[in-house]
């Protein structure tokens, strides 16, 4: 009994630069188990084409004019969950990587990736295994380990008090403006200093302005 060879992995290319798509198309021809299924030059075009050809794996650029790769990835993964998406981009900022992965990308590679690494990632994606380039993994770790932005844990009332502190009001004046007792304001100010990790009203105001903790 003759065992028929498994079907090649059908790969779709999405990039607004023609030369990038041409280079990737040439790369795919080198491997017997990979096949070019189609090309799109934008996120919107990618969604439409994906519905028509249903590729196995998409190599998706992240920065494109009409719709970025993350937005396109999110829609494709929702409409066609069997299609795997690998982000292939020049950007290695942790925030962008996190957005792409949250959108449903199974891999994140930089465009200077070697041919061997790229083909391994395509095969891994087809098998449902995630792949991150070392640079992307490092950037993601750094992004995840960043301390939270100051002021996120302030209550709405504490934000009001801080805003009045920025206006230069003292506790008595703030109490009058908010129709509460000065002791209540004093308690709010103490909480604000503690949560911002500062020792004085001046430092709190400076940090609030620098980090835009309250809206003007």
Give the per-residue pLDDT at 6: 77
pTM score, whole prediction:
0.66
Is residue 3's pLDDT more than 70? Answer: no
* Exposure letters 88-127 (e unless 16+ CB within 10 A, then b): bbebbebebbbbbbebbbbbbbbbebeeeebbebbbbbbe
Q: Give the model confidence (pLDDT) of 8-31 as tens digits.
A: 999 999 999 999 999 999 999 999
Evaluate whether the domain defined by 156-211 bears CATH number 3.30.300.90: no
Spans of all domains in the chain: 9-144, 156-211
Give the per-residue pLDDT at 216: 59
Is residue 82's pLDDT more than 80? Answer: yes
Gyration radius of the chain over CA positions: 26
Q: Could you tell me what percent of the chain has a pLDDT over 90? A: 74
Q: Give the model confidence (pLDDT) of 32-78 as tens digits.
A: 999 999 999 999 999 999 999 999 999 999 999 889 999 999 999 99
Topology of domain 9-144, per CATH? Rossmann fold (3.40.50)
**Which run of H or E residues covers position 177?**
helix 171-178
Topology alike, domains 9-144 and 156-211: no
Q: Give the model confidence (pLDDT) of 108-133 as tens digits.
A: 999 999 999 999 999 999 999 999 88
Give the per-residue pLDDT at 146: 65
Is residue 5's pLDDT more than 60? Answer: no
Give the per-residue pLDDT at 1: 38
């Amino acid at each position: 009994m003759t065992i028929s060879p498994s079907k090649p992995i059908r790969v779709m290319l999405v990039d607004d630069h023609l030369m990038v798509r041409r280079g990737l198309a040439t790369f795919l021809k080198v491997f017997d188990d990979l096949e070019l299924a189609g090309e799109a030059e934008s996120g919107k075009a990618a969604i439409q084409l994906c519905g028509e050809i249903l590729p196995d794996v998409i190599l998706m650029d992240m920065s494109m004019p009409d719709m970025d790769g993350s937005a396109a990835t999110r829609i494709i993964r929702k409409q066609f969950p069997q299609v795997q998406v690998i982000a292939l981009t020049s950007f290695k900022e942790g925030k962008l990587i996190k957005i792409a992965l949250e959108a449903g990308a199974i891999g994140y590679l930089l465009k200077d990736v070697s041919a061997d690494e790229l083909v391994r990632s395509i095969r891994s994606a087809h098998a449902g295994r995630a792949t991150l380039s070392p640079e992307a993994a490092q950037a993601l770790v750094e992004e995840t380990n960043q301390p939270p932005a100051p002021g996120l844990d302030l209550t709405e009332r504490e934000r009001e008090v801080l805003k009045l502190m920025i206006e230069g009001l003292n506790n008595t004046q703030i109490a009058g403006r908010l129709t509460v007792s000065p002791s209540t304001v004093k308690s709010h100010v103490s909480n604000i200093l503690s949560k911002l990790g500062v020792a004085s009203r001046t430092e709190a105001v400076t940090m609030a302005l620098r980090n835009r903790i309250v809206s003007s």
